[in-house]
Each structure stands twice: as structure tokens, then as C-alpha cells.
Amino acid sequence: MALARKLLRVNLTQGTCVVEPVNQDWVKQYLGQRGLATKYLASEIDPKVDALSPENKLIYTVGPLTGTMAATGGRFSVVTKGPLTNAIACGNSGGYFGNELRSAGWDMVIFEGKSAKPVYLFIENEKAQLLPAEDFWGKSVWDTEGGIKKKHQDPQIRVSCIGRAGESQVLFAGIVNDLHRAAGRSGVGAVMGSKNLKAVAVRGTQGMSDIADPKAFMAAVKAGKKVLADNPVTGQGLPKFGTQVLMNVINEMGASPTRNHQDVEFAGARKISGEAMHEKRETDGKTHLVTNQACFGCTIACGRISRIDETHFSVKTKPEYWGASGGLEYEAAWAFGNANGVDDLEALQYCNLLCNEEGMDPISLGATVGAVMELYELGIISKEEIGFEAPFGSAEALCKLAELTARGEGFGKLLGQGSKRLCTKYGRPDLSMTVKGQEFPAYDGRALQGMGLAYATSNRGACHLRGYMVSPEVLGIPVKMDPKATEGKPEMLKAFQDATAVVDSTGLCVFTTFAWNLGDIQPQIQAACEGDWSMETLLATGERIWNLEREFNLAAGITGKDDTLPPRLLNEPCKTGPQAGMVAQIDKMLPIYYELRGWNTDGVPTTETRARLGL
């Protein structure tokens, strides 16, 4: 098998680190990473447990292709019960940490209990120990990573940690590795903070050698890399513009949620687009976009490295990393920009870097600020409550609210609870643009009917990466589908969701699927892993993972009634653009989707489905 076959169980209450064999029967059913960790979590905790209690568990995990020569084979996941949604949470991250954990010889680290004092886990190949983290508690992600490397006198150590947002239980706090890559959504960082676990630091030098058929594997990898290089999205668009290549495309389709989903087109979109980032580099080489960057083993290199203009806003602290660090991705640019009516590129970059520095999900933060701005303009929240004026379009208010949330101060404490809890407090839960408590990303579910269904049915709340229907509805991958149509969308979405569950369990990046289908991935898995990993087996594995996550959520108290969208998307049509007059029509698609899934009319897997999948 291409997995190392062992996991590390860390009991934070007792301060122990124990080695265990990985359950190989579960590997055959769930492959690795997202699937395998979900199986462990569902088997070891009560789904009704308080997500921030010691009874919840936090699982770091890699896939069988993590650390291999496979293109993008550097991914890892963090799986837990999420405090933002009370549903299954799985944050997937790139960078170099995943490879380091794999090179140290570990498939998984399971954290349980709660430490009496702040600690961090330090792994050196076979050796693992919990060390005091009082010196790092209260520090940013960047200061923590630099401090741990300095303490151990090893710049090659890879660090995954929380910032002050995770410590103060911001419900959308993320876990950041390699300074600006993150397991970002659903509050996995808040769970880590609740356990007084500041960081996981790894130095691995053992490498990867357990490939079932090396010759066949390298042939499959070579073929896969050629497909990525020849594809216009993975070979050209993403390397040049990153995910920001989508900003103008989605806006011109009338599918860009603007000012808390009141509109679907943002007049300032071009000012904050990938093209604008390139233009700014050409006219002023001292600020903003510096270059693109790749994660471990990646041939796409969609990451952005940017500088911030420190004179644009009053920056209280200026660590060295502000000089050139993680640049704007599309989702963050949209969340801070379109969602709030802000077209100031430097303000967006400032908030983005703040999220990297303090460990926050930019999607949930930006979307929650959008809800605050609408409540402010309606007169429901006053200037006195916030501490300053906060209308749509105010870059200054956006930055101040981001700072308050990162520090857990003043109005930022409430904002850090997410838009669902905030809007409910002010008597307008309908203004929270969420599903299952998690804020929407950058695509409007009225303009793109398939994405609306994807949001409603996502196991981790509103999410674009669990079933990226933008591919067929916008990009024409694998086939072009009319964004307004509902026909064929449930079938396509189910296929996407199951396939994505497989990709997330391999250690590969889901962005490869702009060019690859499972037919490109299957030979790599088959050559790397022992046993039968045919297309039929992989498809069943993806479906099994999706249903296991569904069953976890059902046991946690989330029902089919939660498979819906906010009233605004169901009742208020798009006002402008190509999709004008459209509302989300999930009522037409959901019954078909349930039937395709083998669920009853309440969204519960039937006995027959459970038996077929071996649940």
C-alpha cells in the first residue's frame, strides 16, 4: 500500500503520544485522507458532541499520493466536527506540510482531549513529543512559525498552526501552514484552539518508497502531467492569473453575489481582478503581485505572492512576511470586495494577509462583514455598537472590522461568531447568506442553478469545492450546461460530489480536475496502491464517503430541512445581467437528487443504500 500504515494518537489531556497501525479494512473502503479520517472520526466521537469540547477530536491526515511524484501530490486534510456548522468539517490544504508529515512516516495524527496548558506537537520522523507553547500563545501564525523554527534551529521544519483567531474561538478560524496555505473553512482552527494546541511542527527525512508498481506509477504520472500542461486552464490560465482569472468571467455572467447577495454584478470587479493585479505589477513593480507560486509537487502553480503597499493603510505591525506573502485568491477577493461593495485592491490584500497572519477563513469573514454592512444600512446596527460607520463600499470599515475580529475585541467578538449567529441576534436571520451556518463562496445560486443545489446539499455547509458545478455551467467542463436550466443538474452534481470525495482522499489537488477526470487519476492510484482500485471501486468509494458524511450530519441533528438556501435566493430574483429574473429552483432538483442518492424523501440513506455501500 502507498500509505505508511501507521498513525499517531495524541492524548492532550494525558500528554501522551502512542503509535497505532492504520485499520487496513477501512483503507480498502475509504482510500485515505478525507475518507479515512472521516471514518475514524465517525467511529470515535458522538456526532452530537459540542465541537469545542474535549470530547471532539481533531485529525490531521494525508493521502496515498501525498509526497509522491504525482502532480499536486502535496495535500493534507484536517477533519473534525466544525463549530461553525455543527456538521462534519474537513479542511484541505496544500503547501509543503503534507509532504513533510508523510516523509516523517505518518498517515494520520489523531488529537483527543484538551491540554491543561498551551502545547505544540513536534515530530522528527519516528519521534513525537508534546512541548510547551506558552511562549507562542497569543502570537500570530507568522510569529509562531518563525519562533518554532528558531527554537529548534532548523529552517526546514514545516509548521501548521493557529493564530489569535483560533485561540479566541472565532468560529471560522482556520489552521495555516507554510505562512499562507490553510485548512480554512468551518472553524477547524477554533477546535484546535479549544484544545490548547497551538501548532504541529514536523521534520521528515524518510521520503516515500512504498509504491506498489513504481514503473507503472511513473508512466501514469508522466501522462497526467502532460494533460495538465496542455490544458488551457491548468497550463495557462491558473499559472498566469491564479483563481482570480474567474473574477471578470463570473461577474460578466451576472453570477457574482454583491453587497450581501442583493445584486449579482459588481461595478468594481475589474479593479480587483487577476488582470488588475498584473497591471499593477507592470505599472508599479514595488507593490502587489510579485509572482506565482506552486505547492509541493505542483505543475500548475496557481498561488500568488504579493506585496502590500504599507502606506495605503496604517499597518500597526510590519513583520518581514508583509514584504511578499500569500496574494489574493478569487474567493478572498470576492469576499472582501464584491460581497461588501469594496473595490480597493490594497484593502482587499490587507485583509487577506491579516487572515493569513491570524488564521481566519476569508470567505466567512468577508461574507459576515457583508451582513453587518447591510444591517448597518438598514439601521438595525448602529454606529455606536460597531464603533464607526460601516456602509457598503467602505474599505476603511472593512479593514477595521477584520482587525477587531482577528483580535477578538469589541464588535469583532460578535462578528467572529459568523453571520448566522450575528443576524439571528439582531432579529434578521434571513440576511445571513449561509447553508447549515456556513457562508457562501463567490457564485450566486440563482444565476447558476447547479451551484445552488451544490450549496444546499453540501455536507460541510455552503461550499464550492464539494461539487464544483461552475465547471459545466461556466467553463464547459466536461460539457457545457445552461446555467439557468435545472435538467441534468442533480445527475452531474452527484457525479462531481462523489469524484471530489475520491480526489480529496488521494492527496491530490482538486484543481487538477479542470483538466483530469477520474480516468486520469485511476491509473496513478492503481499503480501506487495495493489491491483493486478500478474505476468502479473508486466511484463506489466516493459515494461511500459522501454517505458516511451525510450519516454523521444526520446523527448530529442536521436533517433534510437544512438542505435549502436563504429566502433571498429562493424569492428575490437576480436584478440584472444575463440571469435577470432567476431565483434558485432547488425545489425542482432536490427530489431527483435524493432519489439518485438512494435516500428517502427526508434525505436519509435507505437500508438498501447502506447495505450496498457497506455502511
For the stretch 514-563, pLDDT in tens is: 999 999 999 999 999 999 999 999 999 999 999 999 999 999 999 999 99
- The pLDDT value given to residue 317: 42
Residues 6+ apart with CB under 8 A from 285: none
Residue range 241-439 forms a domain whose CATH class is mainly alpha
Rounded CA-CA distance 377/371 in Å is 10
Rounded CA-CA distance 389/397 in Å is 7
Rounded CA-CA distance 94/293 in Å is 11
Average pLDDT over residues 197-211: 92
Rounded CA-CA distance 330/49 in Å is 34
Contact call for residues 453 and 590 (beta carbons, < 8 A) = yes
For the stretch 377-405, pLDDT in tens is: 999 999 999 999 999 999 999 999 999 99
Write down the pTM of the prediction. Answer: 0.96
Cis peptide before 578 (omega within 30 of 0): no
Q: For residue 271, which of 288, 254, 285, 286 has the smallest C-alpha distance? A: 288
- The pLDDT value given to residue 240: 87
For the stretch 347-368, pLDDT in tens is: 998 899 899 999 999 999 999 9
pLDDT at position 282 over 70 = no
State the residue for C-alpha cell 504541529. 200
Would you mind telling me the total number of residues written for the chain in this entry?
615
Average pLDDT over residues 139-167: 97
Confidence band for 327, pLDDT divided at 50, 70 and 90: confident
Average pLDDT over residues 133-150: 96
What CATH number is given for 449-514+534-613 in this structure? Answer: 1.10.599.10
Rounded CA-CA distance 615/598 in Å is 13
Domain residue spans of the chain:
6-203, 241-439, 449-514+534-613
Confidence band for 308, pLDDT divided at 50, 70 and 90: confident
For the stretch 109-128, pLDDT in tens is: 999 999 999 999 999 999 99
Rounded CA-CA distance 473/580 in Å is 16
Confidence band for 318, pLDDT divided at 50, 70 and 90: very low
- The pLDDT value given to residue 287: 58
- The pLDDT value given to residue 281: 64
- CATH H-level superfamily of 6-203: Aldehyde ferredoxin oxidoreductase, N-terminal domain (3.60.9.10)
- The pLDDT value given to residue 304: 82
Average pLDDT, the chain: 94
